[in-house]
Amino acid sequence: MDKHFILGTAGHIDHGKSSLIQSLTGTNPDRLPEEKSRGVTIELGFAHAELSDAKHSYQLGIVDVPGHADFVNNMVAGVSALDLVVFCVAADDGWMPQSEEHLQILQYLGINEVIIALTKCDICSDIEFATELVREEIAGSGIAEAQIIPISAHTGDGLDELKLAIIKNLAKRDSARSDLPAKLAVDRVFSPRGVGTVVTGTLVGGPIQLGESLICLPSKLSCSVRNIQNHNSTSEVAVPGSRTALNLPDLSIAANGKAGVHKGDYICATGIGKLSDTLDVFLSRDARPIGKLAPRTLKHTEKVMLHHGAHRVWARVILHGTNELQMGEQTYAQLRLDEAHFFQLNEHAILRDGAQSQTLAGVVVLDPLAERAQFRSADRLTRLEARWLDQLSPESVLQTELERTKVLAEDRLLTNHQFSDAELTRAVNRLKHQNVVNSQLGHLVLAEWWLPTINKAKQLVLDWHNNHPEQTAMPSGEWEKQLELNEDRQVQLVLATLCADGFKKTDKGIASNNHLTEIPAELESLAEQIYQTITQAKLLPPAKTELLTTPQHQQVYHFLIRSGRLLELDGGILMTAEQVEQCIAQVKAFILSHGQATASELRQELATNRKLIMPFLEMLDAEKITLRDGNFRTLIA
């Protein structure tokens, strides 16, 4: 049974990384003429090896990273998705500045599966002493207990022991997971003649099939897979945990402002997530110095370069609870990027200074779609602490997201995460068992928020009916404001729940199904007075502003309108229902008798004025009772 893993190198320049890979695989990973002539790895190099034991065959995609200080950017790109690192330290040179920087980068990226290859042992007179020196240098680090194997790529000594150590390390581990959407971090782009664009990278998450439609992020360009190569062999499927080359003829290589694919982009399954320019992170700084570099303070609002896989972007650091961070310290922070890119929960990245000369810190993404507002608030700190202290478990992420949003759709609980459907289902069930969440109409809701909110939503409507019995419904805007619902999905779910439990949504707002509009007893006489005033004025009613002079008048007016006893025409003209019915009958009779009629003729027929007749006739036109043709109106059959 095959297992697929990515193995990489690390270590100071000229400590034998490329030579070791060539000895293990027979492939020289240096691919540029300049690299071969200088004997220095500049870009990432790649090779393939197959190791086996009695149970498994281990297919290893091998990444050779540059060791020179000038090419740390490429080193970071190479080690971002490794399962195991062979850390090379030359026995004759010992621990060097780039050894330390590479170690810190591995620590920042969460890579602790390391075997140390003590290289060039054929030219070292005291291997035991050289081993002790390396052990002293790594003391107190995350790889303090790493196995140290003396080897010589020149003589072959120690290579078999190194292979056995690699097998032993990988045998206890599962192959790369394949239950997530596919994601390939592009670290190389080229276009062979007659083939079209080819990208290479390390595939994680899930498989990619020949002919599959994918998306390039951050450009959001669609592409399809014409050809796949895994470890120099053509395949119909690329499997996670392998070095993969994809032929994507739909994509161009980005150049001179032309849209296309860059080194640092992602080729992903469609629907994998959203772009983001704001990340909430846990930020840590190693206390160990790198060579002779003086300790450097990281300051609040400082501009740094974020290295995320093979992608680099300027970011401003917003520290939480402090204005500066010294070596050896850690805190929660927010990164505000100059450009949006694709990030996922629990990804690791590196911060370097603007001159690209010093590694400053490592970060772990706690929220890939963070909000900039109120980052330094106590509530935000509480949520971030809950995630970090629970090791970004699916339960902690779901609960803290619900504490923020209150409602999540069950068919898409989270975005930009790295949890399988099965993991999320188990997390939801555990949170339900703990009465932290429950399900409502296809949504997951925060239990401590839901029941009080529903009870308040109902009571608000009932109280409104008691205080405004003349109104048919509580205005929706007022209802939402008093409920303090700040997201549309909250509004829609609460409303849907009420509508399934004795309430309704009308064009006037939210109402109980049992509510009957009525005028308060103390206002009945005022209602009758207003009604009689309009009736007695015949069709020459007073202006609305003259009639409604107090809040009580306004309350009665709304009731009479909603109950249908009064009708308001354009311009604030009020008519009783009986007047409207009588006038419609008169207009119909007049036009039937004369065939057609002008507004002036109908005004005289109704004994009213122009102020009433014009909006009244416009109402008849709108109701399809009459049809206007120039100055005349006829009846619509």
Which pLDDT belongs to residue 41?
35
Which pLDDT belongs to residue 40?
32
Spans of the chain below 50 pLDDT: 30-44, 67-71
Distance, in Å, from the CA atom of 399 to the CA atom of 427, rounded to the nearest integer, reads 10
Distance, in Å, from the CA atom of 107 to the CA atom of 288, rounded to the nearest integer, reads 12
pLDDT in tens, 249-288: 999 998 877 889 999 999 999 999 999 999 999 999 999 8
Which pLDDT belongs to residue 203?
92
Residue 476 has phi, psi (to 5 degrees) of -60, -45
Domain 183-269 and domain 275-379 have a common topology = yes
Beta strand pairing call for 324-325 and 626-629: unpaired
Statement: 524-635 belongs to CATH 3.10.20.70: no
Q: How many of the other CB atoms lie within 10 Å of CB of 137? A: 18
Q: Where are the domains of the chain?
A: 2-171, 183-269, 275-379, 524-635
Distance, in Å, from the CA atom of 498 to the CA atom of 139, rounded to the nearest integer, reads 63
Q: Quickly name the fold that domain 275-379 has.
A: Elongation Factor Tu (Ef-tu); domain 3 (2.40.30)
Which pLDDT belongs to residue 342?
97
Span 183-269 CATH architecture: Beta Barrel (2.40)
Distance, in Å, from the CA atom of 250 to the CA atom of 100, rounded to the nearest integer, reads 42
* Contact between 538 and 610 (Cβ < 8 Å): no
Instruction: Tell me the CATH number for domain 2-171.
Output: 3.40.50.300
Which pLDDT belongs to residue 72?
64
Which pLDDT belongs to residue 2?
83
Distance, in Å, from the CA atom of 20 to the CA atom of 159, rounded to the nearest integer, reads 9
